[in-house]
Amino acid sequence: MDVPINYEFFTEDQMTKRLFQSLAATDAVVAQSWRGYGTRLHKYKVEPLYFNREFDIASFMRQTTQPVIGGPFHQLWLYGYEVKGYTKDRKGKWLPPTYASGIDQALVLLQQGADFTNLVLPIPMRNADTEKLNQLFSLCETWCPLVGIMLDRKDGGFYQFRAPQQNPYTTPDKKKMLLLRLISDGYVKDISTVDWAKKHEF
């Protein structure tokens, strides 16, 4: 006997919360619903600066190398995640994300400085959904090769269906600036920080 699907589990809000909790358990700075940041003009005035597209999830990870002489040396990686989940129509019917929705947002995250970007989708529930996912894989291979695809499984875990490729246009200075802005005056719904970021060791 088939178990009824809990579509509420795969709404964008629920998927984003689970992904945030999963990434927050790592040694990374993770932000949920990052809209931008403030630039302090003087003691009492902050100028708000907003992204063209919000990061549903942003994750800054640090890679450290310790050579024999000098160092340690740190490299900062910014991962962006665009999440698309089930929605209800006016009659209360659950609808999967429309085909290729979120690709444009994922591309903008690269323009905004991400090294890697992933489109996060619910795992296919029907054969038709599986076919569309395979078509989406082919679309990314040909026209959006930098965009990865992650799937939210029924057990709440996340599976990398298509690996993203590295953005060649972002820079270390841009990522450091973004991380500093995030931890000082970031406009976020939730954030998880780590010691190395608090100490500015990046």
* CA distances from residue 27 to 30, 59, 159, 196 in whole angstroms, order as listed: 9, 10, 19, 9
Could you tell me how many residues make up the chain? 202
pLDDT of residue 40: 78
Closest CA to 32 of 104, 75, 82, 101: 82
What is the per-residue pLDDT across 41-52, written as a single tens digit (0 to 9) for each? 777 888 899 999
Encoded amino acid at 23, one letter: L
pLDDT of residue 41: 76
- Decide if pLDDT at 135 tops 60: yes
As beta bridge partners, residue 86 has 11
User: What CA–CA distance (Å, rounded) separates 135 from 76?
Assistant: 33
Instruction: Write out the two tokens for 74.
Output: 């740190």
Answering whether pTM is above 0.95, one says no
What is the per-residue pLDDT across 86-108, written as a single tens digit (0 to 9) for each? 999 999 999 999 999 999 999 99
- Decide if pLDDT at 165 tops 90: yes
User: What CA–CA distance (Å, rounded) separates 7 from 5?
Assistant: 6
Residue 1 pLDDT level (bands cut at 50, 70, 90): very low
User: What CA–CA distance (Å, rounded) separates 47 from 28?
Assistant: 27
- Decide if pLDDT at 154 tops 90: no
> DSSP letters along 26-94, please?
SSEEEEEEEEEEEEEEETTEEEEEEEEEEEEEEEEEEEEE--SSS--EEEEEEEEEEE--BEE-TTS-E
Q: Count the Cβ atoms, other than its own, within 10 Å of residue 16.
A: 22
What is the per-residue pLDDT across 167-184, written as a single tens digit (0 to 9) for each? 999 999 999 999 999 999
* Average pLDDT across the chain, whole number: 94
